[in-house]
Amino acid sequence: MNLSNPTHPQMVLYGFFGTLLVLILICLSSQAVYAETLESNSFIIQFGNFNVTSGEKSSTTYNVTDTVGQTGAGPYGEFGTASYFVGGGFQYIYPIDQFRFTISKTDINLGQLTAQAHNTDTNVLTITAPTAGGYQIYAYEQHPLKLLNGIPTIPDTTCDNNDCDQTTAEIWQNTDVGGFGFNVNGDDTAADFINTNYFRQFANNALSEPMQVIMSNTGYVVNRAATVTYKAGLFGSEPAGTYETSIVFVAVPAY
Amino acid sequence: MITSNKIKTWHLVVVFCGISWFWLQYPTSISAQSDYSLSVYPPSAYLKIKPGTTANHTIELTNTTTNTIVVTPKVFDSKPEEDSGYPEMQPTFSFPYLSEQVQKMSPILIKPGETNSFSLDFTVPPEAITREYPLTVLFSSTIEQANTTNQVVSNSKLYGVIGANLVVLVSSDETLPNLLQVVDIEVPRLLDSLRGLSFTPMLINQGVQTVVASGSATIVDTFGRTVFQAQIYPDMILGRQQRSARALTTQKDSKLPEPTVFSYDPLFLLGKYTITTKIIDGQGNSSSSHTKTVIALPYSFLIVVLFIIIGWVFSRVFATNTSPD
């Protein structure tokens, strides 16, 4: 091939700069100005002007205001009166709904446990958090599964590869591996519960392990639900009897 | 950071102990429940008390199950977690103006479908200084006992605990100034044209009282055109708290306003972009603003083209050197 012939490389360069020119023209021709528009069946909010605005916009579950010119701006009301539905400020999400926490079932019965088998039970946690900042649900156990009126325990699981604990969920499918653990699957669950095969230990209050967040959201949420699966299996040497523990779920709204 | 985490861990441990202690003090005599559903209202409240006066705050608890629920309240000092609105309960209770605190902590029995009230009475002496006190009230309920068998059986008891926040401002002033300020905008100075422009305004509330984050953020391009506008999500910023601002948006499939990141994602960025974040106070005035300029260039595009050209030149040189001519 003759290197002195510039036809081919010139075409490449022309193509490159031509493409670049087109992209620049596309970029420069953009005239869009983006304003926030919020709407539902019962309200619409459009912020076209950032300096002068007022009023209250609402849906069935919350109100939003963008108010200017009032005195006593901020969440506080008059002296001696808690303010939570008469807010001031440029915009304010009213917590007009209740913070509601539901546990679908409080009897967790894993049945008769046998070696080389896993028994499970489930329930559902549901939460409504009508605050701008969202919520957190923590979980912990009073102690590992322990024989009633006795010392023997079914220890908290360490999962298939001895790599899970109260803060990190890992795969637990091997029925040769006994123990006690849980999985959370659904809305707002902790990221380490990748799927329903991933299990954690409960934080053990008897060892002063701090309770751990299992569900959270940083915004206003309604009826967020997650299924908790409790699983236990034996190593084979545990004496007969009823093993029990207390599991605590703590739901706290954000400010 | 490590010290902060240790402190946080210690705080959580103490909170556990507090909850556990109350279970032991007030064992329930209520029979087994099939489920648990409890509501509190308001979830978060802001109470301003003038020194030398008294005040009262009532939290309503609604039992929406078919069983009677007994809850035991306990009040904790709290503070916002770093860069979030989550309360972090403290191991000690130092709030000095709660009247008859011990008497208030007896168990509350709530019948199915009923709403009961829990009241907190405050007495603030005239000499009290201006200060904000974030508090969190936890309502713990206890449930059933396990039965014994002669097989290896596992029964677990579940306890529900629900919380409510109360932020008490002690101040003699009718109004306190809104001292929420933008201290920085976190964004890279140089951007690739093929990537979006995401940024995070950092806010600090230098005032003593909680304020609502209010304001907007804009991006102006090289030609002075406003190409992006977004409202600041109305997060509660407690007194002395620093946290990042979030953008207010509504997703297509949701009727609720949601927090999101400030992000401008056009097809191609090029040139200078000026980001401005303004805070609006309660009077509608701009109380604080911060501006940062970033430059967008097609780095990745140019690098790819450069490699293609270099590769082409090398291939031509290689082809020439290996040519039989």
CA nearest to A123 within chain B: B35
User: β-pairing, B152-170 with B44-49?
Assistant: parallel
CATH number of A19-29+99-253: 2.60.40
Q: Where are the beta strands (DSSP E) in B12-53?
A: 36-41, 44-49
Angle at A204 between CA A166 and CA A199, to 5 degrees: 30
Task: Assign domain B177-301 to a CATH class.
Answer: mainly beta
Token pair 């490449």 in the structure block, residue: A12
Amino acid at A103: I
What distances in angstroms separate CA A216 from CA A127, B28, B40, one per listed residue?
Answer: 10, 29, 18
This model of the complex carries an ipTM of: 0.81
Domain regions of chain A by residue span? 19-29+99-253
CA nearest to B221 within chain A: A28
Residue A106, min C-alpha distance to chain B (Å): 5
Residue B233 has pLDDT above 70, yes or no: yes
- pLDDT confidence of residue B16: 52
Cα B88 from Cα B78, distance rounded (Å): 5
Question: Regarding predicted confidence, which is higher, A43 or B45?
Answer: B45
Q: Tens digits of per-residue pLDDT, A48-63?
A: 233 333 444 445 444 4
Residue B81, min C-alpha distance to chain A (Å): 10
What distances in angstroms separate CA B38 from CA A51, A107, A225, A253, B316, one per listed residue?
Answer: 41, 17, 15, 13, 76
Amino acid at B177: P
3-state SS of A29-46 is CCCCCCCEEEECCCCEEE
Question: Regarding predicted confidence, which is higher, B13 or B301?
Answer: B301
- pLDDT confidence of residue A44: 32
Of B35, B45, B154, the CB nearest to A105: B35
Q: Does the beta-carbon distance from A249 to B161 stay under 8 Å?
A: yes
Biggest distance spanned by C-alpha atoms of chain A: 95
Burial of A25 (0-12, 13-18, 19+ CB in 10 A): exposed
Give me B147's structure tokens. 């039965």
Q: Does the beta-carbon distance from A129 to B43 stay under 8 Å?
A: yes
Residue B236 has pLDDT above 70, yes or no: yes
Of B37, B84, B143, the CB nearest to A102: B37
**Cβ–Cβ < 8 Å for B187, B199:** yes
Residue B198, min C-alpha distance to chain A (Å): 15
Residue B49, min C-alpha distance to chain A (Å): 5
Residue B105, min C-alpha distance to chain A (Å): 18
Residue B250 has pLDDT above 80, yes or no: no
Residue B313 has pLDDT above 70, yes or no: yes
- pLDDT confidence of residue A240: 78
Question: Regarding predicted confidence, which is higher, A62 or B157?
Answer: B157
- Cis peptide bond N-terminal to B42, omega within 30: yes
Token pair 């908790």 in the structure block, residue: A228
Cα B184 from Cα B20, distance rounded (Å): 43
User: β-pairing, B286-297 with B242-244?
Assistant: unpaired
Residue B204, min C-alpha distance to chain A (Å): 15
**Cβ–Cβ < 8 Å for B189, B294:** yes
- pLDDT confidence of residue A22: 55
CA nearest to B278 within chain A: A50
Q: Does the beta-carbon distance from A98 to B41 stay under 8 Å?
A: yes
Burial of B322 (0-12, 13-18, 19+ CB in 10 A): exposed
Cα B174 from Cα B238, distance rounded (Å): 18
List CB contacts (< 8 A) between B152 and chain A: 112-114, 234, 238-241, 243
- pLDDT confidence of residue B15: 53
- pLDDT confidence of residue B7: 52
**Mean pLDDT for the stretch of residues A159-170:** 97
Q: Does the beta-carbon distance from B16 to A129 stay under 8 Å?
A: no
Query: What's the mean per-residue pLDDT of chain B?
Result: 85
Closest CA to A214 of A239, A232, A237, A188: A188
Of A30, A216, A248, the CB nearest to B266: A30
Q: Does the beta-carbon distance from B47 to A104 stay under 8 Å?
A: no
B153: confidence class by pLDDT, cuts 50, 70, 90: low
Instruction: Give the least confident one: B26-30, B195-199, B321-325.
Output: B26-30
The C-alpha torsion from A186 through A187 and A188 to A193, rounded to 10°, is 10
Q: Tens digits of per-residue pLDDT, A99-158?
A: 999 999 888 888 888 888 999 999 999 999 988 899 999 999 999 998 887 788 899 999
**Cβ–Cβ < 8 Å for B316, B290:** no
For chain B, report the end-to-end CA distance as a whole number of angstroms.
Answer: 69
CATH number of B38-170: 2.60.40.10
Residue B109, min C-alpha distance to chain A (Å): 17
> Which H or E run contains B280?
strand B271-280
Question: Regarding predicted confidence, which is higher, B302 or A103?
Answer: A103
CA nearest to A34 within chain B: B228
Scored b (16 or more CB within 10 A) or e, B151-186 reads ebbbbbbbbbbbbbbbbbbbbeeeebebbbbbeebe
Q: Please give the full DSSP string across B151-199, using - where no structure is assigned.
A: SEEEEEEEEEEEEEEEEEEE-S-S-----EEEEEEE--SEEETTS-EEE
CB pairs under 8 A between A and B: 399
CA nearest to B115 within chain A: A98
Mutation pick from A100, A106, A109, A247 vs chain B, by most beta carbons of B within 10 Å, is A106
Q: Does the beta-carbon distance from B225 to A28 stay under 8 Å?
A: no
Amino acid at A113: L
Asked whether the whole model's pTM tops 0.80, one would answer no
Q: Does the beta-carbon distance from B148 to A241 stay under 8 Å?
A: yes
A19: confidence class by pLDDT, cuts 50, 70, 90: low
Strand order through the sheet with A63-65: A56-58, A63-65, A92-94
- pLDDT confidence of residue B5: 55
List CB contacts (< 8 A) between B282 and chain A: 70-74, 88-90
Give me B179's structure tokens. 């001292």
Closest CA to B51 of B1, B144, B112, B123: B123
Residue B249 has pLDDT above 90, yes or no: no
Closest CA to A214 of A163, A140, A159: A140
Query: What's the mean per-residue pLDDT of chain A?
Result: 76
B264: confidence class by pLDDT, cuts 50, 70, 90: very high
Residue B2 has pLDDT above 60, yes or no: no
Of B158, B284, B312, the CB nearest to A12: B312
**Mean pLDDT for the stretch of residues B262-285:** 92
Residue B84 has pLDDT above 60, yes or no: yes
Residue A34 has pLDDT above 60, yes or no: no
Residue A20 has pLDDT above 60, yes or no: no
A36: confidence class by pLDDT, cuts 50, 70, 90: very low
List CB contacts (< 8 A) between A231 and chain B: none
Cα B77 from Cα B75, distance rounded (Å): 7
Residue B53, min C-alpha distance to chain A (Å): 8
Of B36, B163, B209, the CB nearest to A106: B36
- pLDDT confidence of residue B320: 85
List CB contacts (< 8 A) between A148 and chain B: 146, 148
Q: Does the beta-carbon distance from A79 to B259 stay under 8 Å?
A: no
- pLDDT confidence of residue A4: 43
For chain A, report the end-to-end CA distance as a whole number of angstroms.
Answer: 73
Q: Does the beta-carbon distance from A77 to B161 stay under 8 Å?
A: no
Q: Does the beta-carbon distance from A16 to B154 stay under 8 Å?
A: no
Q: Does the beta-carbon distance from A84 to B44 stay under 8 Å?
A: yes
**Mean pLDDT for the stretch of residues B203-217:** 94
**Mean pLDDT for the stretch of residues A161-185:** 97
Q: Does the beta-carbon distance from A12 to B309 stay under 8 Å?
A: yes
List CB contacts (< 8 A) between B69 and chain A: none
Give me A164's structure tokens. 């899970």
Cα B200 from Cα A53, distance rounded (Å): 25
**Mean pLDDT for the stretch of residues A197-211:** 96
